[in-house]
Amino acid sequence: MNVLLVLPLLVPLATAVAGILLLRVPRAARAASALGAAGLLAASIALLSATLDGTILVTQAGAWPAPFGITLVADRFAAAMVVVGAVLLAAVVASSVRGLDAARERAGFHPLVHALAMGVSGAFLTGDLFNLYVWFEVMLMSSFVLVSLGGEREQLTGGLRYVVLNLVSSALFLAGAGLLYGTVGTLNMADAAVALRAMPAQGTTSVVAALFLLAFGIKAAAFPLFFWLPASYHTPPMPIAALFAGLLTKVGVYALVRTGTLVFDRDRAFTDPLLLAVAALTMVTGVLGAMAQTDVRKVLSFHIVSQIGYMLMGLGLGTRLALAGTVFYVLHHIVVKGNLFLVAGVIRRVGGSFSLDRLGGLLTRSPLLAAAFLVPALSLAGLPPLSGFWAKYLLVRAGLEAGHGAIVGVALAVSLLTLFSMTKIWAEAFWKPAPEGSDPAPLGAGERLSLLGPVLALGAVTVAIGLGAGVLFRFADAAAAQLLEPGLYVRAVLGARGGGG
Amino acid sequence: MTVLLALAIGVLYAAGTYLLLRRSAVRVVFGLALLGHAANLLVFTAGRLVREGPPIVPPGALAPPTPSADPLPQALVLTAIVIGFGVQAFALVLLRRACQEAGTDDVDAMREERP
Amino acid sequence: MIAAVLSGFAVALLAPALAKRLGRGAGAVLALYPAALFFRFLSRVPAVVAGETPSASLPFVPELGISLSFRLDGLALLMALLVTGIGAIVLVYAGTYLEGHPRRGPLLGLLVAFLSAMAGLVLCDDLLALFAFWEATSILSYFLIGFEREEAEARAAALQALLVTGGGGLALLAGFVLLGQAGGTLEVSALAANAEALKAHPLYLPALLLVLAGAFTKSAQVPFHFWLPGAMAAPTPVSAYLHSATMVKAGVFLLARLHPALGGTREWVWVVTSVGAATMLTGALLSVGQRDLKRLLAFSTVSALGSLTMLVGVGTPAALGAAMVFLLAHALYKAALFLVAGILDHEAGTRDATRLGGLLPLLPATGVAAMAAAFSMAGLPPLLGFVSKELLYDAALRASPLPFVLVPVAVGSNMLLVAVALTVGFGPFTGPRGATSKLPHEAPVAMWAGPALLGFGSLAAGVFSGALSPFLSAAASSALGHPYGVRLELWHGFSLVLLKSLVTLVVGVALYRGRHRLRAFAERFAPLGALGPARLWRAGLAGLVSVAKGTAAFLSSGSLRQDVRVVVVAAVALLGPLLLSRGTFGAADALPSVRPIEAVLALLVVAGAVGAVVAGSRLSAVVGLGVTGYGIALLFLVFGAPDLSMTQFAVETLSVLLFVAVLRRLPRLRSRSAPRSRAVDAALAAAVGALMAGLVLAVHAGPLRSRLSGFFAESSLPLAKGRNVVNVILVDFRGLDTLGEITVLAVAALGVLSLVRLRLAAKGTAGAKEGGR
């Protein structure tokens, strides 16, 4: 039993349990939560370092051999996702110290957040399609409660939309899992890959694959299935929104990448153009939606959608460089998007509102906040040498090398509009003088550390990724190479007999 | 029989989808419940219907008699039912609170403001 | 070299703090940094002239061929000297110009950062590193133009500049990637070596057009010129530095830098030359009628950039040589004139050319410097401007194609530019005293020293132009790709060129004398100026925003039902055709026989569902749901799944109870959806139903050979010690699933608790409910 694979599940579980037991003792709950987040981070880093040399870590839950028992698998991509998720969790927990009201904390913010983390880690590490469904449900259930935590009207009505659409997605997923078993007779992803190779590529299995595409597409907020996101992501408090924005859609993207490269990779002539078209539409509609908003949270929510388009573009292109670009983009985006939402929370705290019409003069009031905003904002817009630029460059280069000039053009145009949108927030909230009647409140010393600290830390990560782009690229490239060779995964899980199929 | 059940599943999906599109939030939740039933039945049916006995090892034997029902889809559906129940319970309470806050059962009235 | 340039960013970060400490001398102290760089570069002149190219390289992402590599050739050296030299002067100037301004420190810091970025840009040999610096200059320019951020006009101008240059930048990126693909490398020097193959490559044309888009936007070529006059909203030191001497030159610089690799083809010559010529003329024409000194200078800069572009387009050795000389001459006199405009603004309180006059006695040093610069711009010997103009005309005469177009355009534009030069640098200091708001006096030394130095430089360079020849030749050679000697001399003998210069001067002076009438004439055409790229830009931007608003309104129609409808339509549209085309029908593995009890149960299930749909009251709907649930439970029992059946019974009972408990006293729905929408929904629902039924049948095309169940059945007792295989799967074989399932239940419970509790809290503390986040 490889402990490294189990810890990312057990640590958040234990923390969640502790959180429930300590519900009445907020101080202790906070401490337990922080400890848990740190523990998860440490465990995930250990996991990642074990995969750096290309080893694919495998363990069987209950020691039942694959494909009968549930397999936990970590290749480079999965391990990196777990790490970045843990980083975001740590930042969110840190900023919840001051950024979250006491009522929500007492209602169970901490155990819920760790339960969410457990679901997310499980989704990244599982090698079984039904088990993936279960972890999705854990993650979704936690997010349902978190989005409505606090019971404000916006949250409840937005929450209802969020819940209904994600339940539709779950229902589709479940159906797909059942149908897949009904066709190939297995649920283990590696085993399914082997079994599917023996079947015609264009049969019923491709319809089942499309079902998964739909289910994951809803989760990943792809066009035209993303409408639930801008309706709900802006309603909970910013630490929660940051966690959602950074992680939840990426789990959907991860599932698409994993199944697309491992299990359902045989009908590329159909899925690739579809993915590219979806990617382009997602990019464009997302950024146009963002440009029309005046509420900072809504702008950021629409941008999530737009950026998902980029990740799907890499998957649709399918070359090694393109997949490296997607991996790079996903990792960079989790950090940057989470960061931006946390910054939004501080903007509200200092400027008194989320609405651009009522904000102003923040550059004078808090230059540190301005810097904290500028770094992730410019990174999102793809300015060199920040992380976002490299992610965009990889995709542009992959696209041009593959001869897909049109989508590259779309991607670049959307990038310009993203820059426009980010500078709009800058100009309205930071540059323009504060309008009459706004009620700004400067940050106290303690708040400065707990609110700006996590944000600046995440910003530093963004800068580090940008300046050290070579390092991350080498990793992403190696991860992409692994992804494009499903045989490696299959052999690791099923042993020698799984190799030939 | 498979055909009959497939048709039943189709009706369940249709009914569930139709209810999901209604204006009353309560009917939406009913729709979700029906969709859940439909999905469970689908997984069960796709795992192949057998009229044999359940997969239980009788005393004195080492394995259940062959042929017997496939245990795996049963386990999957069971898990799905329980998860579905938990989710449904929460969705119900959320619905109640949302309707109370909004003062109405009308889903269209629970829109957010335009940007 | 690399460290020296990059350290500028560190200096920039320290600048605000330094400025606070140092007070008056902040500008001067900060100027030490670029001054040091300037002298360092100066020391390299002999080596570069001799043909060496010192370089340094830092690999960044070697797998992708990206490295931070600097290469100091003639062209880079010329630009680097301009950037650092003028930068030092501007810093000293700015330190005093902004004295008393609360945000002087950050501005100085931004200027230093910009300086580093620009220096990096001109030294880069790697295209991607160059691009990084390019974008850095764009964003720094945004912050600099919008420095007076309380002014909405400044903010708008900054955005406009950013979007135009940024858009061009993105095209540039695509162009660079294509170049890298076509040439196999991102190093400019390597691309130049491979130029023949590159120019014949099928990707040459798209790459060229994209690169040109980037260069033209940055260097304010027609039709992208409109952002430059707008950028005059920046503080004057910024305009002097960015928008005359450095940033706007970046595009032309890039063209010169890439000339060996890309230039000389028909496409290059035609496109670049014509755009350049058009810009040269447009800029000159638009400057007529302007009153604001800065705007006069801005439009003349546009024109100058046009000439430079045209020369690079023509691409002959003579043209490139002329371009290098002009680059130097223009930087010297334009920066000086901008700084003078700033002095006049600072001291006399106005930049309106019609209100300034006769100030020479009051501002002697400034006036002399201004006149030197103005005469250089007008092309009077023995200033450098004259030498450069001669070379320009010479190149135009010998250009192909169409010298007979280029020459009149050049001469015509320059006539107007003479007038501009005199209006800015001569007019304010001569003639009757103008009506100014303040009584002006001479500016502080720190402010007039710069223009004086630059003016003197124009004079000295002109007089001793011969000595400059080797240096400028080195620059031209880099741009050409092969060695070439530029001959700078004051006296070429009587020639057509000299004639043209004379004509230009004479007519220009005449235009200057008649400038008031000219201005009045031009102002009648002012409404025409409302049409044009700037207007198009504003309209385009507004149009884009309304498209965005429309899209957003359409997307977040706010309705849950619409969202679900979209998902359903997508599902049917995607899966339907797939199923029909690829599904296998025949359901060979279906269970054919039907037992009566099973049929009854199936019917029961269907009846319950239909009942739930058509039920009038909520309670009857719940009954319908219950019937469906129990019917399914019985079906499970019949098909050999007793555990499952029991669970379903239990859960269904709980569900019904829960429904009844929760749905009591819920507000009633008054209105129902329109019949048409109900019909649509019914159709969609039917489609979904058919789809799923079809899928179930399609799956039964062949036998199910479960790869898992055999193991479960066989190992359940011996290995897992359990008799009920389903249970064993749940708790042992697939225990991890059950762990997740339990977690879901726990979280759901927590969620219900929190929702209920907060309700009670609201009830108990009505009015005191805190909504804070």
A270-297 pLDDT, tens digit per residue, is 889 999 999 999 999 999 989 988 899 9
Is residue C763 scored above 60 in pLDDT? no
A266: pLDDT strictly greater than 70: yes
Nearest CA in chain B to C553: B114
- Environment class of A269 (CB within 10 Å of its CB; exposed 0-12, middle 13-18, buried 19+): exposed
Amino acid of residue C350: T
The residue type of A132 is L
CB atoms within 10 A of CB A127: 30
What is the residue extent of each domain of chain B? 2-55+68-112
Reduced to 3 states (helix: H, G, I; strand: E, B; else coil), residue A136 is helix
Crossing angle, helix A405-425 and helix A367-381, to 10 degrees? 170
Answer whether residue C765 shows pLDDT above 60. no
Strand, coil or helix: A60: strand
pLDDT in the model for residue A170: 94
Among A382, A226, A409, A387, smallest CA distance to A313 is for: A409
Looking at CA atoms only, how far is residue B26 from chain C in angstroms? 8
| pLDDT attached to residue A111 | 94
Pick from C605, C709, C745: CB nearest B8? C605
- Smallest CA–CA separation between B108 and chain A, in Å? 10
Cα distance between the two ends of chain A: 26
C666 touches chain B (CB under 8 A): yes
CA dihedral A419, A369, A363, A299 (to 10 degrees): 40
Q: According to the model, what pLDDT value does residue C366 have?
A: 85
Lowest average pLDDT, out of B84-88, C180-184, C230-234, C754-758, goes to: C754-758
C555-573 mean pLDDT = 85
The model's confidence at residue C16, banded by pLDDT at 50, 70 and 90, is confident
Burial C621-642 (b: 16+ CB within 10 A, else e): bbbbbbbbbbbbbbbbbebbbb
Q: What is the ipTM of this complex?
A: 0.95
Is the pLDDT assigned to residue C772 strictly greater than 50?
A: no
CA gap C162, C145 in Å, rounded:
10
Distance from CA of A135 to the nearest CA of C (A): 6
Which of B90, B107, B110 best tests the C interface by mutation, with the highest count of C CBs <10 A? B90
* Most confident residue range from C210-219, C346-355, C381-390: C210-219
pLDDT score, position B114: 46
> Above 50 in pLDDT, residue B101?
yes
- CB C330 within 8 Å of CB C379: no
Nearest-by-CA chain B residue for C668: B105
* Facing residue for B82 by CB, picked from C699, C745, C755: C745
Minimal CA separation from C672 to chain B, in Å? 7
Residues with Cβ within 8 Å of residue C5, at least 6 apart in sequence: C37, C70, C116, C119, C120, C123
Specify the pLDDT at position A499: 39
Q: Which H or E run includes C338?
A: helix C317-348
Is 70 exceeded by the pLDDT of residue C249?
A: yes
Q: What per-residue confidence (pLDDT) applies to B85?
A: 95
Question: Which span out of B53-62, C248-257, C425-434 was modeled with the highest average pLDDT?
Answer: C248-257
Q: B22: which chain A residues are within 8 Å (Cβ-Cβ)? A: none
Q: Has residue B63 got a pLDDT over 90?
A: no
Provide the β-strand partners of residue C56.
C70
Sign of CA dihedral C722, C724, C725, C730: negative
C651 contact B CB<8A: yes
Could you confirm whether domain B2-55+68-112 is CATH 1.10.10?
Answer: no
Q: Is the pLDDT of residue B113 over 60?
A: no
Residue B25: which of A160, A171, A292 has the nearest Cβ?
Answer: A160
Smallest CA–CA distance, residue C60 to chain A, in Å, is 6
A218 contact partners, CB below 8 Å, separation of at least 6: A165, A166, A168, A169, A172, A225, A226, A228, A252, C567
Please answer yes or no on whether B2 and C700 come within 8 Å at the CB atom. yes
Q: Which has the closest alpha carbon to A307: A399, A233, A415, A212?
A: A415
Distance CA C249, CA C595 (A): 87
Give the pLDDT confidence score for residue C223 in this predicted structure.
86
Best C605, C660, C691 member to test B by mutation, with max B CBs in 10 Å, is C605
Q: What is the largest distance, in Å, between two alpha-carbon atoms of chain C?
A: 117
**Can you give the pLDDT at residue A301?**
93
What single letter denotes the amino acid at residue A454? P
Q: For the segment C387-406, what is each residue's pLDDT rounded down to a tens digit?
A: 888 888 888 887 766 777 88
Only one residue has tokens 């002067």, namely C89
How close C641 gets to chain B, by Cα (Å)? 6
Closest Cα in chain C, distance from residue B98 (Å) = 10
Rounded to 5°, angle at Cα A69 from A63 and A72:
80
* Among chain C residues, CA nearest to B92: C662
pLDDT above 80: residue C43 = yes
| H or E element at residue A59 | strand A57-60
Residue A169 confidence class, pLDDT cut points 50, 70, 90: very high
H helix intervals, A53-152: 76-99, 102-106, 109-125, 129-148
Name the pTM for this structure: 0.92
User: Mean of the per-residue pLDDT values for chain C?
Assistant: 85
Query: Which chain C residue has the Cα nearest residue B106?
Result: C669
Between residues A392 and C455, which one has the greater pLDDT?
A: A392
Neighbours of chain B (3+ CB pairs under 8 A): A, C
pLDDT of C66 higher than 80: yes
Check B52 against C640: CB less than 8 A apart. Answer: yes
CB A122 within 8 A of CB A131: yes
Question: C666, C695, C721: best mutation site toward chain B, by most B Cβ within 10 Å?
Answer: C666
E strands within C128-265? none
- Find the CB nearest B15 among C610, C644, C667: C610
Asked whether the bond before A200 is cis by omega within 30 degrees of 0, the reply is: no
Contacts of residue B13, Cβ cutoff 8 Å, sequence gap at least 6: B35, B38, C685, C688, C689, C691, C692, C693
Tokens of C584: 């296998």
pLDDT of residue C769: 39
Q: Which among C618, C688, C726 is the nearest to B75, CB-wise?
A: C726
Separation of alpha carbons A483 and A128, rounded Å: 17
Which pLDDT belongs to residue C770?
Answer: 40
**If you average pLDDT over each of A205-209, A242-246, B78-82, which comes out highest?**
B78-82
Query: Least CB-CB distance to B94: which of A159, A174, A295?
Result: A159
C-chain residues within 8 Å CB-CB of B59? 723
Q: Which of A101, A203, A225 sits opposite C570 (nearest CB)?
A: A225
Q: How many CB pairs under 8 A join A and C?
A: 284
**B38: pLDDT strictly greater than 60:** yes
Alpha carbons C773 and C768: distance in angstroms, whole number:
15
pLDDT of residue A501: 35
pLDDT confidence bin for A268, thresholds 50/70/90: confident
- Quick one: what percent of chain B has pLDDT higher than 90? 47
Mean pLDDT of C367-371: 88
What local confidence, expressed as pLDDT, does residue A203 receive? 77
Q: Mean pLDDT over residues A401-429, rounded?
A: 93
Contact C204, C245 (CB under 8 A): no
Burial profile A129-166: b = 16 or more Cβ within 10 angstroms, e = fewer: bbbbbbbbbbbbbbbbbbbbbbbbbbbbbbbbbbbbbb
Q: Are C556 and B82 inside 8 Å of each other by CB?
A: no
Q: In this predicted structure, what is the pLDDT of residue A410?
A: 95
Q: Which among C655, C688, C729 is the nearest to B75, CB-wise?
A: C729
Residues 6 or more apart whose CB falls under 8 angstroms from that of C430 comprise C357, C358, C360
Q: Which residue of B has its CA nearest to A137?
A: B83
Residue C495 has pLDDT above 80, yes or no: no
Tell me what the mean pLDDT of segment B75-83 comes to.
96
pLDDT at residue number C761: 58
Do the chains contact at A164 and C570, CB–CB below 8 Å? no
Q: Which residues contact A136 (CB under 8 A, 6 or more apart)?
A: A119, A123, A170, A173, A219, A251
pLDDT of residue C56: 87
Count of CB contacts below 8 A, A vs B? 96
List, in sequence order, every residue forming a beta bridge with B39; answer none if it has no partner.
Answer: none
Whole-number pLDDT of residue A1? 67
What is the identity of the amino acid at C21?
A: R
C146 CB within 8 Å of a chain A CB: yes
| Sequence-ordered alpha helix ranges (H) in A352-468 | 362-365, 367-381, 387-401, 405-425, 445-447, 453-467
Contacts of C632 in chain B (CB under 8 A): 37, 40-41
- A415 neighbourhood in chain C, CB within 8 Å: 170
At residue A437, does pLDDT exceed 80?
Answer: no
